[in-house]
Homo-oligomer: A and B are copies of this chain.
């Protein structure tokens, strides 16, 4: 006698349950949705059968009426290896996932890039598989943003500042953070400060550069053309850029480098070591991200920590508010970064904070 083959019956429907309980489907539905208007005994009986049969109402059928998927799409433009190199995403993703779960939403992950990814995203939204979209690593001028707007898909961009009707954004004060860092360097007596930045098509990098310029200008200092560079979020780029700068004649050589990421800064550090330049004695150095590796380099990196948890949470809440069609919702938000001081630059921070 086969023991547990009773599990092989195909998916139960509400009608099966109704039949077993000797009631109509409508009554089972009312019990399922904890609606009033069902006799206590009947209700108990139906509940028991539901329990023992392990019945669950089909999500799709249930939501044909509601016309909502209670899912939101989280879209990454980067490939997996880029994600790997830029480690802010896991934390962001975790915060978004937790918030959505609390609000009863599900998270759909969309990776890949290019036209194919875009078509997929647009379709999923149009088909109603996702109710809204979160874009955490969009490049400047990515046409997906306009396409989403045209389709009226509720959308929130992270780390950019799109100004469109149906689109909201959440960012952190990249510019202010770098400005503070440069001011600290200026206070410590540095005048030859270079900014080795990430890619120019990241709005965040533009902001970081802007913060650098603001501080330099306020101090009445000119910025040498090769002291302001856009590149890639890679150690190789950091190495190259720093090496070429450090080989200049001493009066044109930077005494401080503000890097666009910790990985870039780590590359700069390697270059300095290779050229016998001591950090922080002969060159001070700062990063961005508060990447794990920032604590393992020698010296450990002074860096900027983005409020990733808060950004993720805020973006998720904002998007849900869009989806619900709430009227008085916040459509933009800038959250503060935090400067983390370590050995690569301790400068005048103490005095600033004191």
A33: interface (CB < 8 Å): no
Supposing A84-B91, A90-B84 touch, asked if A112 and B108 sit within 8 A by C-beta, the answer is no
A127 & B58 in contact (Cβ 8 Å cutoff): yes
CB of A147, distance to nearest CB on chain B (Å):
11
A176: interface (CB < 8 Å): no
Supposing A84-B87, A107-B108 touch, asked if A64 and B56 sit within 8 A by C-beta, the answer is no
Supposing A81-B94, A101-B120 touch, asked if A64 and B67 sit within 8 A by C-beta, the answer is no
Contacts of A293 in B (CB 8 A): 292-293, 296
Assembled-state Cα–Cα distance A111/B62 (Å) = 24
Contacts of A145 in B (CB 8 A): none
CB of A72, distance to nearest CB on chain B (Å):
11
| Tally of chain A residues near chain B (CB < 8 A) | 61
Which chain B residue lies CB-closest to A269? Answer: B296
Assembled-state Cα–Cα distance A85/B85 (Å) = 14
A214: interface (CB < 8 Å): no
Which of A87, A94, A298 has the most chain B CB within a 10 Å cutoff?
A: A94
| 0 or 1 for each of A87-112: is its CB under 8 Å from B? (1 = yes) | 10111011101100100001111111
Assembled-state Cα–Cα distance A244/B112 (Å) = 46
A124 & B106 in contact (Cβ 8 Å cutoff): yes
B60 & A128 in contact (Cβ 8 Å cutoff): yes
Assembled-state Cα–Cα distance A63/B63 (Å) = 12
| 0 or 1 for each of A286-297: is its CB under 8 Å from B? (1 = yes) | 000001110111
CB of A26, distance to nearest CB on chain B (Å):
19
A98 & B84 in contact (Cβ 8 Å cutoff): no
In the A-B complex, list the 8 residue pairs whose CB atoms are closest, starting with the nearest: A80-B94, A56-B126, A97-B111, A59-B127, A293-B293, A83-B90, A107-B109, A60-B60
Q: A83-B91, A101-B112, A293-B296 are in contact. List 8 more A-B contacts (CB 8 A).
A: A7-B150, A11-B67, A56-B123, A56-B127, A59-B128, A81-B94, A90-B90, A101-B111
Residues of A in contact with B (beta carbons under 8 Å apart): 7, 11, 54, 56-64, 67, 69, 71, 74, 79-81, 83-85, 87, 89-91, 93-95, 97-98, 101, 106-112, 120, 123-124, 126-129, 150-152, 235, 263, 266, 270, 291-293, 295-298, 309
